[in-house]
Structure 1
Amino acid sequence: MIARPFPHSYGRRFDSRFLRATVPNQRVGLFGQLARRREMADTTQPAAKLTRVDYRADTEFAATASPAVSWATETEIPGWVQAWAELEADGERVRVDGSISVNVAWPFRPLRPRETRRLRVRVAGQDGSASTWSDVRSVRGGHLDVGEWTASMIGLAAPSDLGQPAQLRTRFDALKQVASATLYSTANGVYEVEINGHPVDADTLKPGWTSYQWRLIHETTDVTTLVQQGGNAIGIQLTAGWFAQRYGFGDDATPFYGEQPAAALQLHLEYADGTSEVVSTDATWKATDAGRVVAAGIYAGQHDDLRREQPGWTLPDFDDSAWLPARVDESSVVPTPRIAPPVREVAELHPVARSQSSSGSTILDFGQNLVGRLRVRADLPEGATVTLSHAEILTDGDLHTGSMRGAAATDSFTSAGHAVVWEPEFTFRGFRYASVEGWPGDVPADAITAVVVSSDLERTGWLETGHPLVDRLHESIVWSTRGNFVSLPTDCPQRDERLGWTGDIEVFAPTAATLFDIDGFLSNWLADLAAEQHALDGIVPFVVPNVSGVFTSATAGWGDSAVGVPWTLHQHFDDTSVLERQYPSMKAWVDVVDRLAGERHLWKGGFQFGDWLDPTAPKESPTDAKADKELIATAYFHRSAAILAATAELLERPEDATSYSRLATAIKDAFNREYVTPNGRLSSDAQAAYALAIAFDLAADRDTELRMGEHLAGLVRRNGYRIGTGFLGTPVIMDALTRTGQLETADRLLTQTECPSWLYPVTQGATTTWEAWDALLADGSPSPADTSFNHYAFGAIAKWLYESLAGLSATAPGFREMRIAPTLLPSFGRVSATRITPYGHAAVTWSREEGRVRIAATLPANTSATVQLPDGSEPFTVGSGTHEWTVAGSSRSINRVQQLSMRTDLAQVIEDPDAYAAVLGALERHAPHAAQTLRTRTRWEPGVPLDVEFFILPKAVQSAIDDDLSLYQLSPNA
């Protein structure tokens, strides 16, 4: 990208100091704006502030004529509850009685397109206190009236290659004084717009990826300052993006939507004299393929020849006589306004190290696996071509491109012989390392910067545990969320996939909603899910948009995203509108599964992913997990039916509420008859099976649930406190253990560092979460399966870290009511969690202090919380404000081995971390192959001594090991 000044209102916003901050009341968190809701000064008098109109806080434009309105109140008055609020729009006032302040229905007449209303709010408390008026916020109609969209899709008339880049332009005259200019723009592809030589915004990869055949998004942009009286020009740089792209795996990849991109826009001009006109894309526009962008694709990369740059091509006096008339495409899809935050450049990283590959190229290490692209500052000879390649890891000092699969992940530019700032703005990469080839001489230290790209989500969650590896895990989860939330929730950002896998976001949505405000982001994606599902008669495809090219069938976990994701948004953001919009989709999915399950209410047969990527599953068959697929399918069937019943009741659909509640009960009864024994054992003796049964409320009673928890803990111990679950079991296993009181087991599982575990990747230098537990082997080499190093599914543990370990969770939608209940795991001495809820700032911190536990909590105004202290006392309720309690603490209890020998029981060894380390060390010295067996294959059963487990070792080796073990002594500080 040639360096050009942005209009003053679109300055870049990133700041590298944001990258390591964690707690919002100290500094700004990773990529997060210091919460806008915290800008109000603390005061004994309530102070109200409008926090969101519609789904977005980053624009004045609302996507609907009657947008929902939210506000927050700050005050030092403890237990403050709103009695009423008054909204004012341009002098028109409406009073709202009660405590509602989140997603309040628009109380005024509907906005007209492009109309501006000046909105403010004031509040009063039940105690008689009252606020002054808030600052004014402008709200503008960002939608179009029915029939108002008239623009044609246009593109290059005679393209030569698939997804041929194009430049499109037109000239128009504004013969009167312009009072307002509003641009509506979209594309089947990716585009940028300039007016009179200036970009209209700082967004990138517009308009993002939707199910193009059914749904398009238009941007709404105020460009008044860019349009001048007299001659004007509009230019569109257009590339293939996600539209003119091959999808599928390997040689089966083919174009899905179309072979050429196209763009459409209309510029609404309102003059000072009250007249107006519209400039739209049509057959009068001109097009060329002779611009600087030679090729650009999401997977393949971008290649520019800067010698082909046409200076001034978006200015009115540019000579376009050599350009040809644009192609006009027929399109029946009318675009709708954007509700999700746009994709933007949100941060910059500079190299932390450099090296040289075996081929002589310069390799840059940015210290973080990230998603984005490289910005290059160069002054090179004309004709010099610089090529940039990308990778997540290095092997033998070179880029390892196996995890890229078929994605070339290569960008290049050819110099025009003058200084330039260049960036491949029509693509993105997942990488930590980059190689630079073709640079004459040494690459200057400040020449290349990594630009982080993501949907511009507001950060809402911060966590500190005092455990360095767990804190690093948390930051890895944050980075993976950002990296995979680029327009839609993708499985990975680097290889020739980057698809919206429904199962991944089904399990991860609660964590994502903890870390970021994803309400508009996922609401937008759910609209595509509903469209794709409708085309498949109620079946939810594996990916949305559905372009994978593989077969489609109803599949548990993946299809249940139709129910689980909207419910998550409602729970976290008090968004009832998403339930209203998605209700037909939710109902259609449960009805599909109900037909498949039949009168027995057991989902049997058909294709299932099951507990995908269970660590014991063969690399060539990741669906072959330990947990029975049909048990898992029926468990999900129950959960979705129960959520649908609750949704129907919330939406006042009593017949549906009764019907689906009965269905959920029938499924639970069938599950218990089929899979549960009287003593709480499951027919599928696997970690995931027990975890899901407990987490999804499938136990017949509390006693059975507790026995399930005991069995689950036994399986975890037998597995050496290593994780034994895949995509579906992993997000809920810690919930299941803590819910059933198995805290020691939960602690050992969370803090385990051997593979497979959450912390093993961290010990291997991971800065994002991995697709597979062993994506990188202990020797530093990649797994033969070449899985992704940036996959968020296993990062779903973060929800538990906030809600259980820290003890801050919601008990009513939007955190109107909360629960404060820290889980004091032995390995943690201090834990702090902060959330920016729809009502404001909430936080919990607990710490151990000289045999006591101190708990501090902050609740925003207009909320309350039920407090369950860890001393077992009766729960109680508190209102907003700051609270502190101190209770008796507990110390860690470990069954220590006093004397260690080859006759020591396996169960004793695994329950004492020091004893385990001593045994492992002795084996590594005398029988390394046996040490590997101990790590990966030993079943830690009681009643089996070490010499029986390793009876095959020569007697002399056993004796030497025994001698080493005899030196073991109980740690004095244990």
Structure 2
Amino acid sequence: MTIKVCKPTFEHHRETLGIGESSPRVSWRFEADAETKNWTQTSYEIEITSSSAGGHNLFKVDSNESVLVPWPTTPLRSRECTSVRVRVSGSDGVPTAWSDPAVVETGLLHRGDWIAKMVAAEPVLSTSGSLRPTMFRQTFDLDTENQKVAFARLYITSYGIYEAAVNGKRVGDHLLSPGWTSYKHRLCYQTFDVTELLQNGDNRIAVTVAEGWYCGRLGFNGGQRFIYGDRLAVLAQIEIQYRDGGATTIGSDESWTCNSSGPLISSELYDGEICDTRVKNWNEDTGATSSVVQVLDFPPADLVVSEGPPIRKTQTVQPQDIFRSPSRKVIVDFGQNLVGYVRLRTPGSSSRMIVLTHTEALEHGEVATRPLRDCKATDTLILGDGPIEWQPRFTFHGFRYVQIDGWPSSTGEPTSEDLEAIVIHTDMEPTGGFECSDPNVNKLFENIKWSMRGNFVGIPTDCPQRDERLGWTGDIQAFSPTANFLYGTSGMLSTWLKDLALEQIRDFNGVVPQVIPNVIDAKLNSPQAVWGDAAITTPWDLFLDFGDKTILENQYQSMVEWWFSIPKSPETGLWDSTKHQLGDWLDPAAPPTSPADGRTDPHFVANAYLVHVTELLQRISTVLNRAEEAKKFAATLPRLRSIFQDNYITPSGRLAPDTMTSLSLALIFNLFSTPEHVEKARGRLARLARASRFKIGTGFVGTPIILQALSSGVDKKYKQIAYRMLLEKKCPSWLYPITMGATTMWERWDSMLPNGDINPGSMTSFNHYALGSIGKWLTGYVGGIDILNPDPDDALESTGWRSIKVAPVLGGTVEHASTWHLSPYGKVSCEWMLDIEAKLLKMTVAIPPNSKGTIELPGKPKEEVVNVGSGTWNFVVEGYDETQEWPPKPIIDPFTLPEADE
């Protein structure tokens, strides 16, 4: 028996240099060999070694907890560095080997730790009205021969997005730092180890700042500039610690110099970057003209450390084809819709201008720029005489295709050796995977992952390409269960939720803005169900997946204030029906120009969610031991549910409105009063699916839950209906985009029409993750692993994947599936293989140490569940015979001929 304790982690940080917590909670995962079964931790030991004080401190605790356990000693001070390792014991009392040590170092925990000043330059506008990127620098002298450097740190942030260099070498590998937060409330700073970049004698720190989210144009309908300010500025502090105990600090102040006349003429998130390589880089030209900086007030916002990882380059994609369009334009196809930018190499041609235009799709053989709306998405490079390798520094695009204009004719046309696409996103830990025997479903799952990565660039956005790229709350409300399975989202999303709470409470009197950070007109931020409900559902989803009730505590005021800010009818307590609702946004039946005009009454959607979030608040209050609040919500819930039933459900159990979305909501949110009504509703949902010829009839609200609503019932034929909808290829369906060559999830079911034309609506993105919320059903039902539904009275016992449900739902033509998830305890997996002819089902399940599983074997009664502890478990079901009629038949009128696959 072998149990390995993995390297400890702290809070929700993936990286631990410069964290913002003085008493960081500690977690560790486990690995075990296949023979180790039913292992549970009974105690743990944490050894802490301080780099400053020296010596080892050992703390032993009798506990089975291994996720977010309390820091066992005195709080860390600013800049303090410690090494932490862990070992544990099981019921036999024998300790494991020590884990590998993890080094954790705090940043500047107090405002008084900063001696640096925020320094700015006089703003210089480009011809487009944007701020021209500004360069800041300072020189300093070090005698490292006589005073050896032990270590050096750079603490830095900016108004705008920055890139720093020390002695001409880039600092770190972060992109678009400091990221996007609600800048008037919170401004993130970063910590870098610059020890190896220092040299004896003259040293130079140089920082380039571009407008980014702070000053740049944001929003649709022309957007706004200078939302947070109109000055590019930097706050930087280098702290050097010497081996003899001495120290030197260099902080940005009035002695720094600046220049706005470098090679970067403009750099905008929407419109791209213009670079003139003929201009020498001022940061590398010590004799160039410079200006004095202006000292600004110290940032009034809280200076904080993000718990989420930074944005980074994560992948390189090579061109798949380079061709001429019908108009003879040179177009590069990278074969994948991605988010990032293009790196190019060219021998140079003096004063030649290369323009790269980025689009997601082609229309009639040309790059399709109309979906970009008021977004140029172009990068421009003005060439000098010599060869050059270039990439933009302060922008990104969503694209698959790039049109190249102005390539030097002396070199011929560009080749695949001259170009590559750089993929960027928040560098989260991959934590989930899925594959099955159907290649189209596998492609669907890959598309979901690509769309998530492309829309997790600092914050969770709707789309990465047009004049938007905003943190829409409704999108993440739908997608967070899928996101939390696929990647380690806890740090990024909990950071984003803090901004949601601040803007909601301080700026909008409890109403949740539709985008976070909010940059749209206040009149557009009227209370909206689903979107505003993200204040409650998203923290709950994080709690379920990561087991951290502190997230609930941090967001509790936000949740309650949102609930009380909902405009309710004084007679019913339901939503005020005079207030506009977005409803089941982008129902495929909605007109292209009116995406809110779907089939389901928007106020039905709002009220279903009101009942749901009221129940969640009762459960959250219980988890947090807020007995009085739990009692109040518990008293409100049955009354609201009863009024909902009086308004929308007939005595016989018929639901009005009668749509796929309404039925799915009522089933998943437990809105019916009797089991008979539940099964009647499920049957009605199945009938609507058959009547639609298994095409999807839901938008943002119904899509995440419709297949779950069908496949959660007792009647097995409904599961086949779910599979039939999954495997449908005609529009609208999940697989239709794949038949059209999609490599990401689309905003609309028909973003591209069957004839290849792009949807005429003004909102037509080819990279939107919301409709990819089916990912949770693929991993939880087809793949078969999920969190065991938490006990309402003891949610902490099963959250965070401590208690695991393994219950694959078989159906359709899928004969094999495997899925895995890296939980807070370790790797969970399930693989099943069905031999239809032999009526034999084989299934292998892995449960990590210190957790347990409840296994429902397909083909066996639900009462015959198998409860197991950790380990690898193999099951065989002989005589498996649950196949139902396949494919299910649609309901078609007698005057319509069936199609080939019906």
The alignment's TM-score, normalised by the length of structure 2, stands at 0.93
Tell me if the contact between 1:54 and 1:62 (Cα under 8 Å) persists in the aligned partners.
no
Answering whether residue 144 of structure 2 is matched by residue 185 of structure 1, we say: no
Tell me if the contact between 2:817 and 2:832 (Cα under 8 Å) persists in the aligned partners.
yes
**1:745 Cα shift?**
1.3
Answering whether residue 327 of structure 2 is matched by residue 339 of structure 1, we say: no
- 3-state SS, counterpart of residue 501 of structure 2: helix
- 3-state SS, counterpart of residue 278 of structure 2: helix
Residues 916-953 of structure 1, C-alpha deviations (whole Å, 9 max, x = no match): xxxxxxxxxxxxxxxxxxxxxxxx45xx423xx58xxx
**1:662 Cα shift?**
2.0
Tell me if the contact between 1:46 and 1:130 (Cα under 8 Å) persists in the aligned partners.
no
Match of 2:291 among 317, 324, 329: 324
Partner of 2:820: 834
**1:127 Cα shift?**
3.4
Partner of 1:662: 635
**1:804 Cα shift?**
1.2
- 3-state SS, counterpart of residue 725 of structure 2: helix
**1:778 Cα shift?**
0.5
Match of 2:615 among 642, 665, 685: 642
Tell me if the contact between 1:164 and 1:260 (Cα under 8 Å) persists in the aligned partners.
no
Partner of 1:805: 782
**1:697 Cα shift?**
1.7
Aligned partner letter, 1:623: A
Aligned partner letter, 2:719: L
**1:872 Cα shift?**
3.1
Residues 612-647 of structure 1, C-alpha deviations (whole Å, 9 max, x = no match): 000111112111111111111111111112112211
Match of 1:547 among 519, 530, 533: 519
Partner of 1:122: 87
Partner of 1:818: 804
Structure 2: gaps (5+ residues): 50-55, 789-797
How far apart, CA to CA, are the structure 2 residues paired with 1:129 and 1:662? 49
Matches within 5 A, 1:556-575: 556-575=529-548
- 3-state SS, counterpart of residue 724 of structure 1: coil
Matches within 5 A, 1:113-152: 113-152=78-117
Answering whether residue 769 of structure 2 is matched by residue 792 of structure 1, we say: yes
**1:591 Cα shift?**
1.7
How far apart, CA to CA, are the structure 2 residues paired with 1:582 and 1:752? 40
Aligned partner letter, 2:41: Q
Answering whether residue 594 of structure 2 is matched by residue 624 of structure 1, we say: no
In structure 2, the CA distance between the partners of 1:246 and 1:74, relative to structure 1 (3 Å rule), is: closer
Tell me if the contact between 1:185 and 1:218 (Cα under 8 Å) persists in the aligned partners.
yes
Partner of 1:246: 217
Answering whether residue 181 of structure 2 is matched by residue 210 of structure 1, we say: yes
Tell me if the contact between 1:645 and 1:657 (Cα under 8 Å) persists in the aligned partners.
yes
Residues 283-319 of structure 1, C-alpha deviations (whole Å, 9 max, x = no match): 22111111111100000100100111237x258xx23
Matches within 5 A, 1:33-182: 44-76=1-33, 77-90=36-49, 91-161=56-126, 162-175=130-143, 176-182=147-153
How far apart, CA to CA, are the structure 2 residues paired with 1:646 and 1:173? 60
Match of 1:863 among 851, 859, 863: 851
CA RMSD of aligned residues (A): 1.9
- 3-state SS, counterpart of residue 833 of structure 1: strand
Partner of 2:794: none
**1:649 Cα shift?**
1.3
Answering whether residue 667 of structure 2 is matched by residue 702 of structure 1, we say: no
Matches within 5 A, 1:872-887: 872-873=860-861, 874-887=864-877
Answering whether residue 386 of structure 2 is matched by residue 418 of structure 1, we say: yes
How far apart, CA to CA, are the structure 2 residues paired with 1:645 and 1:478? 33
Aligned partner letter, 1:448: L
Tell me if the contact between 1:247 and 1:254 (Cα under 8 Å) persists in the aligned partners.
yes
How far apart, CA to CA, are the structure 1 residues paired with 2:104 and 2:7? 11
Aligned partner letter, 1:814: G
How far apart, CA to CA, are the structure 2 residues paired with 1:403 and 1:346? 26
Residues 568-621 of structure 1, C-alpha deviations (whole Å, 9 max, x = no match): 11111112221111111111111222x524452211321211000001111121
Answering whether residue 263 of structure 2 is matched by residue 292 of structure 1, we say: yes
Partner of 1:10: none
How far apart, CA to CA, are the structure 2 residues paired with 1:356 and 1:840? 50
Partner of 2:894: 945
Tell me if the contact between 1:114 and 1:182 (Cα under 8 Å) persists in the aligned partners.
no
How far apart, CA to CA, are the structure 1 residues paired with 2:89 and 2:149? 42
Tell me if the contact between 1:46 and 1:123 (Cα under 8 Å) persists in the aligned partners.
no
**1:337 Cα shift?**
1.3
- 3-state SS, counterpart of residue 638 of structure 1: helix
How far apart, CA to CA, are the structure 2 residues paired with 1:845 and 1:353? 37
- 3-state SS, counterpart of residue 282 of structure 1: coil
**1:229 Cα shift?**
4.2
**1:155 Cα shift?**
2.5
Aligned partner letter, 2:574: L
**1:228 Cα shift?**
3.0
In structure 2, the CA distance between the partners of 1:158 and 1:823, relative to structure 1 (3 Å rule), is: closer
Tell me if the contact between 2:215 and 2:225 (Cα under 8 Å) persists in the aligned partners.
no
In structure 2, the CA distance between the partners of 1:251 and 1:50, relative to structure 1 (3 Å rule), is: closer
Aligned partner letter, 1:770: W
Tell me if the contact between 1:46 and 1:129 (Cα under 8 Å) persists in the aligned partners.
no
**1:273 Cα shift?**
3.0
Tell me if the contact between 1:846 and 1:854 (Cα under 8 Å) persists in the aligned partners.
yes
Partner of 2:229: 258
**1:449 Cα shift?**
0.3
**1:359 Cα shift?**
4.3
Aligned partner letter, 1:355: F
**1:827 Cα shift?**
2.1
Residues 687-738 of structure 1, C-alpha deviations (whole Å, 9 max, x = no match): 1001011111222232221111111111111111111000011101011111
Residues 383-415 of structure 1, C-alpha deviations (whole Å, 9 max, x = no match): 222111111111222101111111100001112
- 3-state SS, counterpart of residue 610 of structure 1: coil
Percent of residue pairs identical: 37
Answering whether residue 571 of structure 2 is matched by residue 580 of structure 1, we say: no
**1:465 Cα shift?**
1.4
Aligned residues: 863
- 3-state SS, counterpart of residue 730 of structure 1: coil
How far apart, CA to CA, are the structure 2 residues paired with 1:663 and 1:425? 53
**1:895 Cα shift?**
7.7
Tell me if the contact between 1:460 and 1:515 (Cα under 8 Å) persists in the aligned partners.
yes
In structure 2, the CA distance between the partners of 1:158 and 1:710, relative to structure 1 (3 Å rule), is: closer
- 3-state SS, counterpart of residue 731 of structure 1: coil
In structure 2, the CA distance between the partners of 1:826 and 1:249, relative to structure 1 (3 Å rule), is: closer
How far apart, CA to CA, are the structure 1 residues paired with 2:850 and 2:344? 49
Tell me if the contact between 2:485 and 2:821 (Cα under 8 Å) persists in the aligned partners.
yes
Tell me if the contact between 2:803 and 2:853 (Cα under 8 Å) persists in the aligned partners.
yes
How far apart, CA to CA, are the structure 2 residues paired with 1:639 and 1:87? 41
- 3-state SS, counterpart of residue 709 of structure 2: helix
Structure 1: gaps (5+ residues): 1-43, 897-910, 914-939, 951-960
Match of 1:689 among 662, 679, 692: 662
In structure 2, the CA distance between the partners of 1:274 and 1:895, relative to structure 1 (3 Å rule), is: closer
Tell me if the contact between 1:169 and 1:314 (Cα under 8 Å) persists in the aligned partners.
no
Between 1:201-210 and 1:156-165, the stretch displaced more is 156-165
How far apart, CA to CA, are the structure 2 residues paired with 1:468 and 1:597? 50
How far apart, CA to CA, are the structure 2 residues paired with 1:357 and 1:234? 46
How far apart, CA to CA, are the structure 1 residues paired with 2:225 and 2:5? 54
- 3-state SS, counterpart of residue 250 of structure 1: coil
**1:158 Cα shift?**
4.5
Match of 2:692 among 705, 715, 719: 719
How far apart, CA to CA, are the structure 2 residues paired with 1:179 and 1:92? 23
Aligned partner letter, 1:666: R
